[in-house]
Amino acid sequence: MTRAFHLVPHVSGWVLLAVLVLVAGGWVGTAAAAPPAIDGRIMEGEYASHYQARRIGMEVHWTIEGDSIYFGLKVPATGWLAIGWDPSGPIMEGEDIILGYIRGKELFLQDYFANSSVTHASDVSLGGRDDVLESSGSEDPQSTTIEFRRRLDTGDRFDRPITPGPHTVQLAYAPSDDFVTYHGEKRTVVKIDFFAGGAQEAGLFARPRSFDGGRGPFVPWLLTVAVGVVTIAGLTAAYLLWPARGRRRHTD
């Protein structure tokens, strides 16, 4: 899906109050704000809450208004950037992902679903919908900014609803204008409560929200781990027993 890149002058007609709170791994702030303008620029105090992941330098800004959530993402690179939340299995499996980049003067943004621990596909290709309602972006030689809006609960089976309480959020970016280049070390996991405004960097590996008492089944995660353990055990046993069987046949 392609959306036109555009810049619209932003005029703020309200007084903003910002509070910054230090948390492990980055900084988070909250402010009283009206709905952000989806114009490809993130103005100071425009969003109600924001967080910067110190490990990778990516910024996440958000405001909940009515049944929608507004996101502003900024990275210190020119390439793709992505945010995903609430995997149900290992790494990113089952995660709702929004991924985009700017090429020339066009914003390319897609609604994705992680159909395995290391791969993803667009919701549309899987039989779902692209649920991004508005989007815009801008790019300079040092950074990329993308803003978008979607509903808190889209009703699409390939989307994860945003509800009160902590969500496992993965942030990533890469220096290439495409949907496939590997992000390398530019990835981190953050716990974010989008309603309360709290955030804390959690490291490199996502933990399914169900393990923290949230929604969603944890059976797929356990099944994947169990299959992995059984496979490794089986291969190890075969490796250890095969030479012994060969020696018995030789000496009989």
- Whether the per-residue pLDDT at 74 is higher than 50: the answer is yes
Q: What is the pLDDT of residue 81?
A: 98
126 within 8 A of 118, measured Cβ to Cβ: no
Average pLDDT over residues 186-200: 94
CA 251 – CA 243 distance, rounded (Å): 13
- Domain range list for the chain: 2-214, 218-252
CA 72 – CA 149 distance, rounded (Å): 9
Count of CB atoms within 10 A of residue 236's CB? 10
pLDDT tens digits, one per residue of 145-174: 999 999 999 999 999 999 999 999 999 999
CA 38 – CA 6 distance, rounded (Å): 10
Q: Which amino acid is at 74?
A: K
Q: Which amino acid is at 155?
A: G
- Whether the per-residue pLDDT at 184 is higher than 60: the answer is yes
pLDDT class for 247, splitting at 50, 70, 90? very low
Please state whether the predicted TM-score (pTM) of the whole model is above 0.95.
no
For the record, the structure tokens of 189 come out as: 């996991």
pLDDT class for 51, splitting at 50, 70, 90? very high
Strand pairing report for 68-75 and 81-85: unpaired
CB-based contacts of 91, cutoff 8 Å, min separation 6: 117, 118, 205, 206
Q: Report, at the CATH architecture level, how domain 2-214 is classified.
A: Sandwich (2.60)
